[in-house]
A = this chain, B = another copy of it.
Amino acid sequence: MTAQERADKVLAGDVRAIARLMRDIDDGHPGWMEVLKLLYPYSGRSRIIGLTGSPGVGKSTLTDELVGLYRAQGKTVGVVAVDPTSPFSGGAILGDRIRMQRHAIDEGVFIRSLATRGHFGGITASTRGVVTVMEAMGKDVILVETVGVGQDEVEIVRMAQTTVIATVPGLGDDIQAIKAGILEAGDVFVVNKMDRDGAGRTVTELNNMLALSGGAEHRAGWEPPVLLTCALDGRGLGDLVEALEGHWAVLSADGGRLLKQRRREGARRELLDLIQTGVMKRLMDRLQDDEGLEAMVSEAVSGETDPYTLSQKVINLALNNE
C-alpha cells in the first residue's frame, strides 16, 4: 500500500489502518513518516489537553471521567496514554487501561497506549506522531496522559495547549510532591482523592508554591486554579471542565495570539526532536554496521582511551562537512 493510500484510509476513519500506523510510529517502523507527511496538513485543529502527575494519583480515572464529560457534550475524543515501560523486555503494563473499557465500544473515543521503546528521543516523537494522527482523524479533544516527573514528561505536556497536573493529599514531603519544573508547566492543578487527610493543606501549599514559582510570562495572565476532585465518583470534575474552558478562552483571546505562539513553540520542538531522533538513528545504524561501536567500548573499558576522546572522533567523522 502506498503512503497516500494509507493516509486516505486514516482520513476515512479506517480503524485498522489507524491502529497499524500508530503501531508503526511507536515501533519506529519505516514508512510512518511518509504517511504523517500527508496527514500533517489536517492537524492543528484539535484541542490538546495534557494530564500528568506522580504514579498513583488517579490520572487514568481522571482521564476516564473527562472522556465521559466531553462525550456528553457531543465531542469526539482521543486519548494517548504514555506508559513508561521496561527497557529490558519492552513489555507494557496495561493494567490501568482496563478501567477505560467503558469507552471501548464508543466509536467517538479512540484510545492508544504508548510504550517507551528506549530509542533516542523516542517517546516524545512517538507521542507527537500519534497526536497528529488523532488530529487528522478529526478528534475534537485529545487527552495526553503521562506519568510525570522527568524531562520526557515535561516535553510531552508541552505539546498540549492546556496542561492539568494532578496530585493527592499526603504524597509526602510537600516540596517533593510536585517539583518546580512540572509546576511551571501546569495550567490547572487537581488535588484528587479529596477525602484523604490533608487535602486542604495540599491545596494551600500548591497555591503558595504557585505564588512563588515562575512561569508567569508563559501563562500570560492566567492564574492556575487548584481544584479538589474525587475522580472515582466524579466530584469536582465539573469544576475541572469549567477551568479547562476558562483557560481555552484565555488562549483564544486576542485573535488566538497565545494559541499561535504555543503552536509555533510546538512546531520548533517537534522539528528539533525529529532531527535528533533521525540523526541518532542514522549514526547508530552506521556504528552497528561496521562493528565500530563494540571495538570502541573495548578501548574505553580497557583504559586504552576514554569515552570523551572516542565520542569526539565519532562526531567529527559524522559531521565532517563543518
Contacts and interface: CB of A to CB of B under 8 A. Distances in A.
A70 interface: no
Contact-size category for A: 35 or more
Nearest to A35: B308
Count of this chain's copies in the oligomeric assembly: 2
A274 B311 contact: yes
Contacts of A83: 179
B152 A151 contact: yes
A150 B308 contact: no
Contacts of A173: 55-56, 58, 95-96
Contacts of A193: 172
Contacts of A182: 84
A40 B276 contact: no
Q: Is chain A's binding surface mostly helix, strand, loop or mixed?
A: helix
A176 B55 contact: yes
Given A91-B214, A297-B267, A85 B180 contact: yes
Contact of A84 (B89, B181, B275): B181
Contacts of A144: none
A55 B151 contact: no
A33 interface: yes
B311 A55 contact: no
Contacts of A88: 181, 184-185, 214-215, 218
Contacts of A268: 293, 297
Contacts of A264: 297, 301
A140 B295 CA distance: 30
Contacts of A195: none
B87 A279 contact: no
Interface stretch (A102-110, A222-230, A243-251, A313-321): A313-321
Contacts of A177: 55-56
A281 to B, nearest CB: 9
A18 interface: no
A56 B55 CA distance: 11
B322 A320 contact: no
Contacts of A168: 172
A191 to B, nearest CB: 13
Contact of A147 (B149, B214, B282, B303): B149
Contacts of A180: 84-86, 89, 91-93
Closest 4 CB pairs of A and B: A56-B172, A150-B150, A274-B311, A40-B306
Given A33-B308, A84-B179, 12 more contacts: A40-B303, A86-B214, A89-B215, A91-B214, A92-B180, A96-B173, A116-B151, A150-B151, A271-B293, A274-B310, A279-B280, A318-B321
Interface of A: 33-34, 36-37, 40-41, 44, 54-58, 83-89, 91-93, 95-96, 116, 118, 120, 123, 147-154, 158, 168, 171-173, 175-185, 193, 213-215, 218, 260, 263-264, 267-268, 270-272, 274-276, 278-280, 282-284, 286, 293, 296-297, 300-301, 303, 306-312, 314-315, 317-322
